[in-house]
Amino acid sequence: MAIITLTSDFGEKDHFVGAIKGAIYCELPDVKIVDISHFVSPFNIPQAAYIIQNAYKSFPKGSVHIIGVDSELNPENKHLAVQLDEHYFICADNGIMSMLCSEIAPEKIVEINIHDKILDSFPGLDVFVKVACHIARGGTLEVIGKTIDTIKPTKSLVPFINEDKTQIIGSIIYIDNYGNVVTNIKQGFFETIQKGRDFEISARNNKFKTVYSKYSDVVNFDIPEDKRHDEGRGLVVFNSGGYLEIAVYRSNPNTVGTASSLMGLDLMDTVSVNFTATPLVTKVKEPVAKLQEYK
């Protein structure tokens, strides 16, 4: 039985999320419904895109992902159903899908056309549920919409590179639960430009010359534990989504502080990487091997 996931800016206090689940179970009693996040900041398209992009790949192929962010139908905000990477996405044409499609070409896009009339102020409950259940039952996209080939473009979140390729200028696109700040610089992109050169990463007046592959790489375990002072130290990692992230070791907004609070970093702030002229040995750790199948 298929999985339907939910990503929204509804929060979890109101009745909306419960009501959507009830409506889905009315149509498909045996479906699995999984919450990805309901704490997207209201109407925040890049945040919604970052979250769904990093979550969907872990789900089985064929999963259906409802994204209820800025989804009220209006003349400039059509409803889409998109097949991409063997997953299905249902959302408004507000830029979220452009961000996903910029990495992987979609297999099919339809504009949903089963609203005989505009329904109400809460479209997720009716149209998105109908479409999701139709797909989860194995129905095709053509039945619920007409194929289109262009969707609303998004202000590209790709970082800027200078002409002689000595500098990447990126920006902060997400701040996570630990206050770590995530940039739009992906590991593959970074390494393509780097070509093994040394580098310095700058964010405000913070400088870093190493990118770790996990947080505790910042710790020197040869020093006895009671002599170390690593808690609260800044560091840079490629996070589990492959993004360059500025973090603080064992951060906590209420005690130690976080990368965001301690370094004064906020959404949209600039993070730049300057490469030395001559290629040297990379400080970036080798890509890690895949865990061998274990069953």
Applying CB under 8 A, which part among 96-104, 162-170, 253-261, 274-282 lies near its own copies? 253-261
CB 176, min distance to its own copies, A:
5
> CA 9 to CA 67: how far, in whole Å?
9
State the binding string over 60-89 for its own copies (x if CB under 8 A, else -).
x--x------x-xxxxxx------------
Which of 243, 275 has the CB closer to its own copies?
A: 243
Which residue shows structure tokens 């409802």? 66
> CA 265 to CA 254: how far, in whole Å?
17
Measured in whole angstroms, how far is the alpha carbon of residue 23 from the centre of its chain?
27
Task: Tell me: does residue 150 bind its own copies (CB under 8 A).
Answer: no
Size of the site for its own copies (CB under 8 A): 95
Which of 161, 231 has the CB closer to its own copies?
A: 231
H-helix or E-strand spanning residue 248: strand 243-248
Which of 129, 197 has the CB closer to its own copies?
A: 129
The alpha-helical segments, DSSP class H, found in the chain are 16-27, 45-56, 96-101, 123, 129-136, 187-194, 259-263
136 φψ region: left (φ > 0), alpha (ψ -120 to 50), beta (else): alpha
Task: Tell me: does residue 271 bind its own copies (CB under 8 A).
Answer: no
CB 167, min distance to its own copies, A:
26
Phi and psi angles of residue 258, each rounded to the nearest 5 degrees, phi first: -135, 170
- What is the DSSP pairing of strand 167-175 with strand 160-161? antiparallel
66, 99, 134, 181: residue in contact with its own copies (rule CB under 8 A): 134
216, 264, 276, 280: residue in contact with its own copies (rule CB under 8 A): 216
CB 197 within 8 A of CB 275: yes
Which of 38, 197 has the CB closer to its own copies?
A: 38
Residues in CB range of 180: below 8 A, 6 or more apart: 239, 245, 246, 247, 248, 251, 258, 259, 260
Which of 159, 179 has the CB closer to its own copies?
A: 179
User: How does DSSP classify residue 182?
Assistant: E
- What is the DSSP pairing of strand 206-208 with strand 270-279? unpaired
153, 196, 253, 279: residue in contact with its own copies (rule CB under 8 A): 253
Task: Tell me: does residue 226 bind its own copies (CB under 8 A).
Answer: no
Which of 25, 160 has the CB closer to its own copies?
A: 25
| Subset of residues 40 to 59 that bind its own copies, contact rule: CB under 8 A | 40-44, 50-52, 54-59
CB 66, min distance to its own copies, A:
12
User: How does DSSP classify residue 42?
Assistant: T
| Subset of residues 6 to 35 that bind its own copies, contact rule: CB under 8 A | 7, 9-23, 25-27, 29, 32, 34-35
> CA 87 to CA 63: how far, in whole Å?
5
Which of 268, 281 has the CB closer to its own copies?
A: 268
Which of 168, 235 has the CB closer to its own copies?
A: 235
State the binding string over 171-210 for its own copies (x if CB under 8 A, else -).
-----xxx--------------------------------
